[in-house]
Amino acid sequence: MPLFMCMEIVQFWVSPSKHGFHMQISNLPSDLSTENVDGLFLAASVISMQPLRESHRAKAVMTDDTPPLTGHDLIADYLTRLDGSPGVYRMLDRESRVLYVGKAKSLKNRVSSYARPQGHSARISRMISETTSMMFLTTKTETEALLLEQNLIKQLKPKYNVLLRDDKSFPNILVSREHGFPQIKKHRGVKTEKGTYYGPFASAGAVNRTLNQLQRFFLLRDCSDSQFDTRTRPCLQYQIKRCCAPCVGYVTAEDYAVLVRDAERFLGGKSTHIQAELAQEMQTASENMEFERAAALRDRIKAMTQVQTAQGINPQSVPEADVIAVHMEGGQSCVQVFFIRGNQNWGNRDYYPRVGVDVSITEVMQAFVGQFYSDREPPRVILLSDAIEDPELMAEALSGKLGRRVQISVPQRGEKLDLVAGAQRNARESLARRMSEKASQMKLLQGLAEAFELPEVPRRIEVYDNSHIQGAHAVGAMIVAGAEGLLKSQYRKFNIKGDDLTAGDDFGMMKEVLGRRLKRLLKEDPERKSEAWPDLLLIDGGAGQVSAVREIMREWGVENIAMIGVAKGVDRDAGKEEFYRTGKPVMALRHNDPVLYFVQRLRDEAHRFAIGTHRAKRTKANLKNPLDDIDGIGPKRKKALLAHFGSAKAVMRANLVDLKAVDGVSDAMAEQIFNHFQP
């Protein structure tokens, strides 16, 4: 087997919404954006906020008269898959926002209390009514569940945890040293900027929460260098005690360097040492009657204590490692990855390789490790639940990539074994839930095929929509769905380019989008042997849109793909949609039909994606820099001008003398800039 074999990795989550079920699926991306899905969550001082795979069962989907479950009914349905294990649970709303984090000695007993329709306070009743999905993690002991609950509450700030209301590669934290007063910020991509990088973190959300902590604890700046150099008074971050205002001289370079040092030690897992030093400083300040300084130090110590747990969840004997565990069942597999850095768990993910029934765990692990580290930096230690075929060869390859020795092992005892066991347990539970959810999705697809008299159950559905404002910034959008839900990695955006299109020509826009899509498919797979070809097209529109799409399909010689147009009814109310098919009469579905919920959700997802793409394009156009209109101003000169003056507006107001003082701007160019803005 090749060392770095190419293997498709997918992520999947299903939860009920008012339109049926909300699903997300994506290939393993390089940047793992906030739209990607987390695995079963693990304790950490930083952790992803994305939702997990937890839903109610297939039978709840396909009943004719029962709408998607929420609140008490949904929670009662979850109980059928919980046992008496200790652990932590999260309750989420329809937007995947965390409502509540709680711990339990017995998850089944604790969650059952929410299933009762009566006996709750008004706050808990509201929380239950807003709950549309839940997430769970089992732990070995209730103590570990408590530590995990505390970490999660401090990081996620859930809406109904009252006491804490105040608050595409894996992302990293960068302490940038391009400036005399280092900046702390989130970083993705190639590590070319001078400074120290900390990571990887499981998500952008985890990085943002850690940056928030660092600002609270160490008062470091997050502004750009140009903003820093042009400040004349402290910004809001100083007012809310998230920055020490080095931009206006409120702290010396030496004192700021101490704060940076402490922040880096914190990221390196030395928080207890920092707390001890701060405690000593607080005592000294108090003895010297510097009570304001002592109080500030006290608050920093208290804040750090709240987010740091030094036992149980955060390993003490494993300073840096990735923990990878595999579970296989019924021809499917789940790979769970925990990221340990600085003796802290910085989040986790799970992935679902597509495997056959005859593939072994060893093959899955081998392929995953090779593919996972093919484009990202490995840690010093990789702990596996199952051995790979040639660990020495893999370690040698990864060591060469990292530039230092990488150790790959299957732990047999101690804390390392406990970490692997925890990852394996959660991989097993995650896969069990996913298999149940996939069965639900297949039943929906079967129902779709029956309702619309399709020749076969669709394997790949492509849904199209356009978005524009009177023809301006027009974009097309394509989303993809299949047996595993929404395949977000296969979504596509189309900048509509047709010069002959008139404002509001939706038919023409749809023809352009479909034409470009079919042209690409025919170029890449003219024999139609790959899974890239759709079995069904869903179009947002009625007879006109369907006719336009069918015409463009005939032009390209593609006529055997099923197509459905989804149009709102006479009153344009959800639930009264009319469906258009070529050569068949217009039809409608019962308002409580699960297939209707499914089609509505697909239509709404395409609409959401199209609108989001349009807004991004419009915003980019509106934010065009006025310097771009000046001949001879390229990226380098523009950067120099913005760094010198702080903003484009300041450049526009600058006098000729100041413009000539900018590095890289000649006298002639300075005159050109001055004359452009002040003719």
Q: Is 330 left (phi over 0), alpha (psi -120 to 50) or beta?
A: left
Cα–Cα distance measured from residue 474 to residue 308, given in angstroms and rounded to the nearest whole number: 49
| pLDDT tens, position by position, 291-303 | 887 887 787 777 6
Average pLDDT of every residue of the chain = 78
Domain residue limits at 490? 460-621
Q: Is the pLDDT of residue 27 over 50?
A: no
Angle between helices 204-218 and 142-156 (to 10 degrees): 80
Q: Please say which residue of 307, 328, 355 terminates a domain.
A: 307
State whether 485 and 577 are in the same domain.
yes
State whether 230 and 135 are in the same domain.
no
Whether residue 48 is contained in a domain is answered as yes
Residue 451 contacts residue 593 (beta carbons within 8 Å): yes
* pLDDT above 90: percentage of residues in the chain: 15
Whether residue 346 is contained in a domain is answered as no
Q: Is the pLDDT of residue 411 over 90?
A: yes
Nearest to 645 by CA among 225, 247, 249, 220: 225
185-192: long-range contacts, CB 8 A cutoff, minimum separation 24: 185/211, 185/222, 186/211, 188/31
Residue 316 contacts residue 310 (beta carbons within 8 Å): yes
| pLDDT of amino acid 50 | 32
166-180, 601-615, 635-649: the lowest-pLDDT one: 166-180
DSSP symbol at 309? -
Q: What is the CATH number of the domain that holds 655?
A: 1.10.150.20
State whether 493 and 470 are in the same domain.
yes
142-156, 319-333, 366-380, 393-407: the lowest-pLDDT one: 142-156
What does the pLDDT average to over 388-399? 82
Cα 117 from chain centroid (whole Å): 34
State whether 268 and 293 are in the same domain.
yes
Q: What is the CATH number of the domain that holds 505?
A: 3.30.420.340
- Please state the domain count of the chain: 4
Q: Please say which residue of 269, 289, 307 terminates a domain.
A: 307
CA atoms within 13 A of residue 620's CA, in its CB half-sphere: 7
145-149, 224-228, 674-678: the lowest-pLDDT one: 145-149
State whether 36 and 183 are in the same domain.
no
Q: Which residue has the higher pLDDT, 291 or 50?
A: 291
| pLDDT of amino acid 38 | 39
Whether residue 506 is contained in a domain is answered as yes
251-265, 278-292, 555-569: the lowest-pLDDT one: 278-292
Whether residue 321 is contained in a domain is answered as no
What does the pLDDT average to over 469-496? 86
For the chain, count helices (H), then strands (E).
21, 21
What does the pLDDT average to over 586-602? 88
Whether residue 443 is contained in a domain is answered as no
Q: Please say which residue of 164, 180, 208 terminates a domain.
A: 164
| pLDDT tens, position by position, 197-209 | 887 776 777 788 7
Give me the residues paired with residue 16 across strands.
21
Written as one letter, the residue type at 661 is A
State whether 131 and 219 are in the same domain.
no
State whether 78 and 187 are in the same domain.
no
State whether 474 and 609 are in the same domain.
yes
Cα–Cα distance measured from residue 206 to residue 338, given in angstroms and rounded to the nearest whole number: 13
Residue 378 contacts residue 406 (beta carbons within 8 Å): yes
250-259, 305-314, 379-388, 604-613: the lowest-pLDDT one: 305-314
| pLDDT of amino acid 127 | 86
State whether 21 and 119 are in the same domain.
yes
Residue 30 contacts residue 375 (beta carbons within 8 Å): yes
Q: 377 phi and psi, to 5 degrees?
A: -75, 125
Residue 355 contacts residue 329 (beta carbons within 8 Å): no
Whether residue 659 is contained in a domain is answered as yes
What confidence tier does 5 reach under pLDDT thresholds 50, 70, 90?
A: very low
Cα–Cα distance measured from residue 79 to residue 72, given in angstroms and rounded to the nearest whole number: 11
Which of 71-75, 479-483, 650-654 is the most confident on average?
Answer: 479-483
What confidence tier does 625 reach under pLDDT thresholds 50, 70, 90?
A: confident
Residue 518 contacts residue 552 (beta carbons within 8 Å): yes
Residue 45 contacts residue 344 (beta carbons within 8 Å): yes
Whether residue 372 is contained in a domain is answered as no
46-50, 429-433, 557-561, 634-638: the lowest-pLDDT one: 46-50
State whether 185 and 223 are in the same domain.
yes
Cα–Cα distance measured from residue 273 to residue 271, given in angstroms and rounded to the nearest whole number: 5
DSSP secondary structure string for all residues of 208-261: HHHHHHHHHHH----S-HHHHHH-SS--HHHHTTS---GGGTSS-HHHHHHHHH
What confidence tier does 461 reach under pLDDT thresholds 50, 70, 90?
A: very high
* pLDDT above 70: percentage of residues in the chain: 80
Q: Is the pLDDT of residue 42 over 60?
A: no
Model confidence, pTM: 0.49
Helix (H, G, I), strand (E, B) or coil at 448: helix
Q: Which residue has the higher pLDDT, 446 or 287?
A: 446
| Greatest C-alpha distance within the chain | 89
Q: What is the CATH number of the domain that holds 111?
A: 3.40.1440.10
State whether 90 and 132 are in the same domain.
yes
What does the pLDDT average to over 546-555? 88
Which tokens is 660 given? 């000539």
State whether 231 and 272 are in the same domain.
yes
Whether residue 373 is contained in a domain is answered as no
| pLDDT tens, position by position, 219-278 | 899 888 878 888 888 999 999 888 999 998 898 989 899 889 888 887 776 666 777 777
